Structure 1
Amino acid sequence: MVQVRAAHPTNQDGSVNIDAWIARIGERTQLVDPQILHEACEWAQELEQAAIDAENIWADGASSYRTGLEMAEILADLKLDQDSLVAAVVYRAVRERKTDLTEVEHRFGPTVTHLVDGVQRMAAISVSQNPGNTASFSPQAQVENLRKMLVTLVDDVRVALIKLAERTCAIRAVKDAPEEKRYRVAREVFDIYAPLAHRLGIGHIKWELEDLSFRYLEPTQYKQIAKLLDERRLDRQQYIDAVMAQLRESLEEASIHADITGRAKHIYSIWRKMQRKGIDFSQVYDVRAVRILVPQVRDCYTALGVVHSLWRHIPNEFDDYVANPKENGYRSLHTAVIGPEGKVLEVQIRTQGMHEEAELGVCAHWRYKGTDLDSNSNAYEDKIAWLRQVLEWHEEMGDIGGLAEQLRVDFEPDRIYLFTPDGHVLDMAKGATPLDFAYRVHTEIGHSCRGAKVNGRIVPLNYVLQTGEQVEIITGKQSGPSRDWLNPNLGYLNTSRARAKVQHWFKEQAREQNAQAGKLMVERELTRMALNGTDYAQLIDRLGLKSQEDLFVAVGSGDLRLAHVVNVAQQLIEPDRHSEQLELIPKKPSRNVGRRGDVYIQGVGNLMTQLAGCCQPVPGDPIIGYITLGRGVTVHRADCANAMQLQDRDSERLIEVSWGGAPVQTYPVEIYIKAYDRSGLLRDVSQLLANEKINVLEVSTRTNKDDNYAAMLLTIEIPNLGMLSRLLTRISQLPNVIEARRNRQENRA
């Protein structure tokens, strides 16, 4: 759908009335000093007139001065600041070499100059999309320009918004241009700038760019859909008017004051839905659509209930973007129903604030930037955070077209984005470590990795990386990974790609070396887990191997995981126990947890529970329990008026209760720790157990003053063997710890 634009206010001679134009701009956004914007307009006009007088007029008849004013109007609608508007007004003059950045800085200062310079650098996108224009640009220069563009976006999002405004004006202006130019501009806008507007959450610019681009890229299909929309416009409007009247009446009965409108129809989105779902025009739900704007979030769901009570909901056609916003911050409820006359109707429900964000995206928060409204400032920073997580593209220019697709697809939450020391961006799986990063850069760098810096600070190789961090790998002279890297309990490698490269390296080593290393690993782990009595013949048979040497080679080369060997050994010793369970008898259920249905009671015995009739809590509600006399525990909603009165009058009988599944089954295990005695040893062990959320049942310590050894016996609760192995590994890494192993007691009941 194409935007309808008001003409610039003019004087009697046809020139733009700058004072009237600035007054109109001032109604849309705040101007700190309108005189500065006035000076920018006059200067841009003078530069254009000078070019005309020098017979260096624009080739296509477009006025760069008026284009600058149009760009400023778009930015004013986005609520941008005065510096952005000034930069928009003078940008085309700089681009067309009517002046330079030095003069801009002299007149308007460094901020405006930075914005204009940033928009100029974004011209690299146009070059990459038009190979015929690359004569003066080397492939390396194009990659460097694209990198600078992204850095500029991170530094100041206003640069991207000014460029979007400039491209919006460009696509509007090619209506009467030659077909080749229309197609070239439309291709660029569709591939780069419409997706960028989407990622920034600026809905109304995205829709206009998509519709205008589609108009020139697929003129036949554009005209076909436009004709179908126009033919049924009157009937559709009458239908929507009737729907809105019925909705308005029902919402008022529910005490919801809502603003209800018919939603704009966007030709490209209709065509895309037809293509994606393989349906014809009559089956597109949002051809008939209304939007409901309500004051508060809770009203959204109340209004949704009203809609679904009026008309039958279509299965699989409901999306809750309020509880689960899109990655660009978009929030709204979408539903499709069988409306009056059996026609499909789409309904969008959102608050006024959500609507403003959907239309203006990052700009909805721009007005708060640098003010004292911290919460809004944080919201703005969160909205542009994706720019720090944005892209990876290949170094070869032949693949630079992938940039469009990288921008178009939704940001994947299971990926993180990291900077190399020279500014390149690599994407990796969430949970990746510096060692994973080293192997992502190059196999040999991974093999020779001996340390890492994150943001200039030395970190362990099992540090979990976060989006936006810069990673520098420290390599050593000797190339070769450590076998500890394959131990999942140590957390060095969390990506399958890196693990496969390490395993391959060990496969290439001599069989004898692998056998020796594997033997040491297996025997050490079985001893530590108190499984020394394992019958190797049975173990090899159960694992499907031919010999004990094959077992050691497989473990030493990384083909067989040590944890799997331990679990099989555990099954052999006590075959009646599940491989993931410990061989010890489970502890009796704790008497400090009571259950009634799905309500769990903390701190008391198994008491009878009942749901309060006054507030009727349902699973998911915050709840609190009240111990009655003879009737067990009554469960109230936390905000129940009766519960609040009880809190004031009888607070000692209120207890914590919660919804949820049964507690995880745990097993008591005794572990033995031997260490050189030092101050704080018991504290460090206790802190580690607390961090792992391990419950300690019993602790005893003994210190030998003659040799300065400390021995600790702890009885802890563990859910499975994997957790026990990981815990013993973590304890072994504590300073001064010599040994940490499981302490089996054969006579235990």
Structure 2
Amino acid sequence: MVQYTPPSPDDFFQSVQKYLSKNELKKVQAAFEVARREHGEQRRKSGELFFTHPLTVAYYLSEYNLDADTLCAALLHDIAEDTKVSLQELRDQFGTEVAMLVDGVTKLKDVSAGIAKGRQLTPAQLQDASLAKMFDFMTNDVRVVLIKLFDRLHNMRTIKAMSPASQRRKAIETLTVYTPIANRLGIWKVKNELEALSLEVIKPHSYQFIKSQRDKLLKKQHELSQTVSGQILECLLEANLNVLNIYNSPENIYTLYQDLTSKKYGSREIDSAIRMVVLLEDWVSCYQALGLIHQLWKPVPGTFDDYIANPRDNLYRSLHTTVIHTSGNLVKVRFRTKAMDIVSQIGVLAKWRYKDSQYWSKEIADRVNAFLENIQENIALEPQNPTVGVKGVVEDVFRKQIQVFTPKGEPVDLPVGATALDFAYTIHTGLGNQSSSATVNGVLYPLNKPLTHGDQVKVTKRIKQGPHRSWLDEDLGYLTTNYARTHARRWFRRLSEEEAISQGKALLEQELRMLGMPDFSHERIVSFFGLSSTAELYYQLGRADLLPTTVATRVLEDTWNENPGRDFGNMVYAPDGES
């Protein structure tokens, strides 16, 4: 692992003096003094003074011209957690904004009785509550998560001081939470490094193999890359295009690892294509350059992607193509403007690094806000159960996204694998609950079939209809997003206790009749699930906390164990759409 030298106080102040006012510098200096005094002789596991950590995080942020309040919060971000200084004291000295940012990045050591419901939370629940808190704060101010990202970057760069078990736990959490955030905020420089550092911890042999193979390949292809770059430049200059830069952009190590493990290129062969980025004056020139390169070298069918007209959900914009060079090598070419290149590397950080410039547009801001709103919607699903919200964010918001369209052509982002029914719930809970059929691209389409990127989706609803309990059966695949499942389940949870018990009993009797076992003991089923009574069984079935299909599976398993030779040919299946 690379050795990282922490910045000195002089390095930090030289960095911030370039863009902060005198009053802002005084405020940052005061935060610096408080942090240095309060952390005192505290040591990190590496043996370094603990103060080097907040100083380094603040320095990283200063490289992108983050404002004075963010720098103060970075310097003070461990104060409330590791010293006797309170948030109120920070608020009194540095203002509400700094205190809010510090609070947002402070882990929960304890959780209020309102969340914990009077119970001691398990470490996993406490972790979820801390993440839910961070997600909640970041939706109000994205600077909270910027501090956390650079906090995690420094911790991962210095992770070797931790025990192997702690290293692995941190690396897995980084890949699960922090790299998806960096990705969706467009901060690829941080995302790529966090992925590589995490892989080095989790799969050290794979990391070393891929790094070695990539380094050898780059050395071997250096001369050819120079030739390709020169040929592209000559071709475009002849057409009077203003070429700002051409550079080689090797694939990052973690992506190569994912390709290898998916056997995309074979178990021991990394992608050998040369990857060139061509920067042009404007987006029109990008399309012109694409046509010229397709005339120069033969394009590989199916490799063209237009991320200028259809930007990725992580703010990335470029034209992609792959061509066959005269040497026989594949060359992957990306055409983009300088503004697109900057945003593709540092994403949301461009708002501060290039303040008041073309690099931060309303369109980009709207996409970031939509991402944050999506997180907020998931965190708000069940405030008393942070695990539900965190699961929704990790499984739905952070998952790879597709973009589909409403009948009016409005774009809707959904996680890969989402169905027409997931789409309906994303549009409106009422539409989801009353969905009866769907058409995709003008053709009738099953509600439980996954959508694909670019689909145009229309869902028809049936008035006075509620959701079907079968939609909550994961094996049937109707609902794949935590957001949709939670809203569908809420429909049943609004039933009174009497209604839930009545409906639950009827459902159980119907399920047993379909199994050809109407007399099967309800009390026995109670014992299968460790419940206290048949009333609790009926209640859980009525509220959809327990599904009839789950009961049926357990009944069949028990019956088969009792009578291995039994014939189940007299089972009767209810039509799809039981409610």
Per the TM superposition, whether the score is higher than 0.5 is yes
The size of the alignment, in residue pairs, is 433
Whole-angstrom distance in 2 between the partners of 1:196 and 1:122: 20
Partner Cα distance (2:337, 2:110) in 1: 39
1:241–1:4 Cα change, 3 Å: farther
Aligned-residue Cα RMSD (Å) equals 4.3
2:334 is aligned to: 348
1:490-509 CA-partner distances (Å, limit 9, x unpaired): 8666977799999xx9xx9x
Q: For 1:347 and 1:70, how far apart are their aligned partners in 2?
A: 36
Question: Does the CA contact (< 8 Å) of 1:3 and 1:208 recur in 2?
Answer: no
* Counterpart mapping for 1:259-658 below 5 A: 259-280=245-266, 284-285=270-271, 287-366=273-352, 376-377=361-362, 379-390=364-375, 391=378, 404-413=394-403, 429=424, 435-436=430-431
1:467 maps to which residue?
Answer: none
Q: Deviations over 1:434-464 (max 9, x none)?
A: 5456689xxxxxxxxxxxxxxxxxxxxxxxx
CA 1:428 to 1:282, structure 2 compared with 1: closer, same or farther past 3 Å?
Answer: closer
Q: Is the 2:261–2:267 contact (alpha carbons within 8 Å) kept by the matching residues of 1?
A: no
The question of 1:218 aligning with 2:203 is answered yes
Give the distance between the partners of 1:187 and 1:29, measured in 2 at CA. 37
| Structure 2 residue identity aligned to 1:40 | A
SS of 2:74's partner is: helix
Matching residue of 2:39: 48
Deviation of 1:46 (Å): 2.2
Residues of 1 paired with 2:97 and 2:59: CA distance? 20
Distance 1:179 1:140, change over 3 A: closer
Read off the aligned partner of 2:13 and give its amino acid letter.
I
Label 1:238 to 1:29 Cα distance change in 2 as closer, same or farther (>3 A): farther
Given that 2:54 and 2:74 are in contact with CA atoms closer than 8 Å, whether structure 1 keeps it comes out as: yes
Q: Which residue identity does 2:308 align to in structure 1? A: V
Paired residue secondary structure (1:289): strand
- The one-letter code of the counterpart of 2:140 is D
Could you tell me the TM-score, scaled by structure 1's length? 0.51
Instruction: Specify whether residues 401 and 373 from structure 1 end up closer, same or farther in structure 2 by C-alpha distance, changes over 3 A only.
Output: closer
Alignment of 1:624-703 (within 5 A): none
Alignment of 1:119 onto 2:109: no
Distance 1:77 1:281 in 2: 39
Match of 2:173 in 1: 188
C-alpha distance in 1 between matches for 2:283 and 2:20: 27
Asked whether 1:23 is paired with 2:14, we answer yes
1:76 corresponds to 2:76: no
Residue 242 of structure 2 corresponds to 257
Q: 1:215 to 1:141 in 2, by over 3 A?
A: closer
Contact 1:79 1:364 in 2 (8 A): no
Change (3 A) 1:168 1:311: same
- CA drift at 1:276: 3.1
Offset at 1:267? 0.8
Correspondence for 1:67? 53
Q: 1:161 Cα deviation (Å)? A: 1.0
| Structure of higher CA gyration radius | 1
Q: Deviations over 1:646-699 (max 9, x none)?
A: xxxxxxxxxxxxxxxxxxxxxxxxxxxxxxxxxxxxxxxxxxxxxxxxxxxxxx
Task: Report the counterpart of residue 248 of structure 1 in structure 2.
Answer: 233
For 1:181 and 1:354, locate their aligned partners in 2 and report how far apart those are by CA, in whole Å. Answer: 38
Are 2:35 and 2:75, in contact at CA under 8 Å, matched by a contact in 1?
yes
Q: Does 1:171 align with 2:166?
A: no
Post-superposition CA distance 1:354-374 (Å, at most 9, x none): 1111112222235688x8999
Q: Who is 1:667 aligned against? A: none
Q: Secondary structure at the match of 1:334?
A: strand
Q: Distance in 2 between matches of 1:374 and 1:275?
A: 36
**Alpha-carbon contact 2:432-2:467 (below 8 Å) kept:** no
What does residue 106 of structure 1 align with?
92
Q: Label 1:137 to 1:26 Cα distance change in 2 as closer, same or farther (>3 A).
A: farther
Alignment partners' CA distance in 2, 1:25 and 1:286: 41
In 1, Cα distance between equivalents of 2:154 and 2:212: 25
Corresponding letter in the other structure for 1:231: K
Q: Secondary structure at the match of 1:362?
A: helix
SS at match of 1:292: strand
Compared with structure 1, are the counterparts of its residues 109 and 272 closer, same or farther at alpha carbon in structure 2 (3 Å cutoff)?
same
Q: 2 CA distance for matches of 1:434 and 1:321? A: 31
Q: Determine which structure has the larger strand proportion and give its number.
A: 1
Cα distance in structure 1, aligned partners of 2:60 and 2:234: 36
Q: Distance in 2 between matches of 1:416 and 1:243?
A: 39
Letter in 2 for 1:298: V
CA distance in 2, matches of 1:7, 1:139: 32
CA distance in 2 between partners of 1:120 and 1:267 (Å): 31
Look up the equivalent residue of 2:345 and give its one-letter code.
E
The whole-number CA distance in structure 1 between the counterparts of 2:386 and 2:143 is 29
Residue 336 of structure 1 aligns to a residue in which SS?
A: strand
Equivalent residue in structure 1 for 2:27, among 31, 36, 56: 36
Q: Which amino acid is 2:398 matched to?
A: R
d(CA) in 1 for partners of 2:6 and 2:124? 42
**1:95 Cα deviation after fit:** 2.8
Tell me what 1:148 maps to. 133
Q: State the distance in 1 between where 2:69 and 2:342 align.
A: 22
Note the C-alpha offset of 1:400. Answer: 6.2
Give the C-alpha shift of residue 102 in structure 1.
2.4
Highest RCO, 1 vs 2 (Cα 8 Å, sep ≥ 6): 2
